[in-house]
Amino acid sequence: MSALRKIQEDFFATVLSNDDVIARHVAVPHGPKGRRIAVYRNTVQSGLVDVLAVAFPVVRRIVGEAFFSTLARRFIAAHPPRVPQLSTYGAELPAYIATVEPLNQLPYLVDIARLEWARGESYFASDGAVLAAEDLARVPPDTLPDLHLALHAATRVISSRHPIYRIWHVNRPENADIPQLDLTVAEAAIVARPGHHVLTRQISLGDAAMIQSFTSGAALSVALDAALQLEPDFDVQSALHQHLIGGTFASLTLPPTR
């Protein structure tokens, strides 16, 4: 390893953790090295904490500002940025939360973090046309069972054993009062970006199963079966109507003619 590369690695380790390994490469005319290094470290880490706070505002509100700052700094040390694009930083935080023992008392927090990260991914996803209702209306009825629907690049679905949509919604910054919720109620949420704004809405568990089936390439008949297994009275027409309004799909593929 070259001397320059070693200095770069030591500098990286120093600003993203509490290790002053860069000190041996630093010469100062007066004053302690440690204090100067700490100022630089704090500047870098505070910036990354702010990035995470913007990406996970509801997580931050639930655990409190002080705890979130500590959590974020520990996360930064364990998962430092690897690419020069801050919009991609924080993807590992939901999984990291699952390893933090005090947060085991908040079993829904991992899924809330997943939902918030899905919103960020949706915001930065590539642009593209959304499937319109008239596009689906032109499909011959006898081919509908074999129809394949492709999700828009901005679409994300999060399912949970907990009421993640309501927890996320009531903890939005604009909501002052937080009501009591039954944390044993399973919920699913969909994130989409039909225009320039990210939309998040609650969907049924059957609806989520249908959308996740489309993600794996299933045809409409198979996706509908997945929905009906969880929700015997699932209304596919109403669900598809809402998805077309919300920009869930990008395109459709018809079965080949025989």
Give residue limits of the domains in the chain.
1-106, 126-258
Q: What integer is the mean pLDDT of 55-81? A: 95
Top pLDDT among 127 and 22 is at: 127
Left, alpha or beta for 64 (phi > 0: left; psi -120 to 50: alpha)? left
**Angle formed at CA 170 by CA 166 and CA 176, multiple of 5 degrees:** 170
For residue 125, the number of C-alpha atoms closer than 13 Å in the C-beta half-sphere is 25
Confidence grade of residue 133 (pLDDT, cut at 50, 70, 90): very high
Q: Per DSSP, what are the bridge partners of residue 199?
A: 192
CA geometry: angle 191, 110, 164, nearest 5 deg: 50
Mean pLDDT over each residue of the chain, to the nearest integer: 88
Identify how many contiguous H helices and E strands the chain contains and give both numbers. 11, 5
Instruction: Give 185's Cβ-side CA count (13 Å radius).
Output: 11
Calpha distance 222→150 (Å, rounded): 14
pTM > 0.85: yes or no: yes
| Reported confidence tier of residue 176, pLDDT bands at 50, 70, 90 | confident
Strand partners, 156: 191
